[in-house]
Structure 1
Amino acid sequence: MLPAPDEAPDAAEPPETQAPKASAAPNKPLFGFLKSKTTHGAPKSTVQPGEVLPFGEVGIACEANKRSMGREVDQFPREGTTVWRLFDTDPANTGPRTQFITGFADGCARQVTASLVMFGEAGLHEVLRYSDSNEADWSQADKSYEAIKSSTCGVKRKQRCPADKVGLLEKQLAFVSVYPTFGAPKGWLELLLHNGDVMSEEIR
């Protein structure tokens, strides 16, 4: 969870819930409610080449290639092996424009319209989310993160992932904040990416 660029985070503790038991089925989320937004069987585009999406919509762009996606402007993780890459069709522009994220298990890029797209790491998320001064409601990404963190790091809700396991967590997970304008205090799109899928998307 990243706050708006010029806003301090707020939040409230979520109700305590018992984590569901992990599933033994291969290639499936370890927690029942952590279902991805995509399927790997037959990738299918939801957006046509050159189509501009309204803000807040995440399109699947299987026909997009590096040339049509523009210039690579960011990647994540920023150290070690890159998993996710951000492409911008017009990096010099500060207004809303088409941007793409790659690194998904189905081989298709995800397309959004935004003025600013930012990757966020698990370590920063925990600093903000677990702060005593954070009174904001827990988002879908916050809740999904807790289950993924518990599975990967072996810790309970609201407990920090141990330093020796944070790197492993960040190799498979990224928060993405998608802003309609620079400095937008609200109305931005929060995504949680994990193991090649979009685990949650929500307007904050």
Structure 2
Amino acid sequence: MASKEHGGGAPRDDGSDDNCGCGSWTIALLLFTSFWLVMLYLPPMDSLPGIREIDGSPPWVDDKPTTCSVELADVRGLEPALAPGATSPAFDLVVHVDNGHARELRHGGGDVVVSYAGVPLARGRTPSLRLGAKCTGRWQVNVTGSGLGIPADLSRLMTAERRWGVAQLEIDMGLAWQSFTCDVFVDGQPGASACRLE
């Protein structure tokens, strides 16, 4: 009498397999769980060595641009060119620099041009500077012209505008690999005038 029982692990006649594919699902679940456990317990990037700067802030959080302002300390030589005793235009400036970067700022100096109504009056250079991260500093800058006095037409315009209290010098300077322009009243004003990035 023939037995109707199938052998232990033999495949059935319909071609199906007793294996349900649970092994593949188990491996996928283990990999997924491992990935999330690693991500959960990994320290944050800004706590890794070399990521934080000296002040304890990640550089991409506190990094801000360099800004500057100019104070006009003294002015000389604004007489008409043909006036007796005319001297070369000269300007004593105080340049204030705010290093907003989360790293030290070093620069070898840049050109400075002082103009009035678009006419250059004097030229000079900002000094070499070294400024720590997030620090401010100030430097004296002396700018002098090459000729005596200023042209007569320009002198008349300046005299009228000074009488109205609107005469302004335009100061263009290279600082920290950037170009800044500052408008400063000829007769001075309290504090320093903020410069704009060009």
Superposed pair shares fold, TM > 0.5: no
Structure number with the higher strand fraction is: 2
Of the two, which has the highest radius of gyration? 2
For normalisation by structure 1, the TM-score amounts to: 0.22
For normalisation by structure 2, the TM-score amounts to: 0.22
Greater RCO, CA 8 A, separation 6+: 1
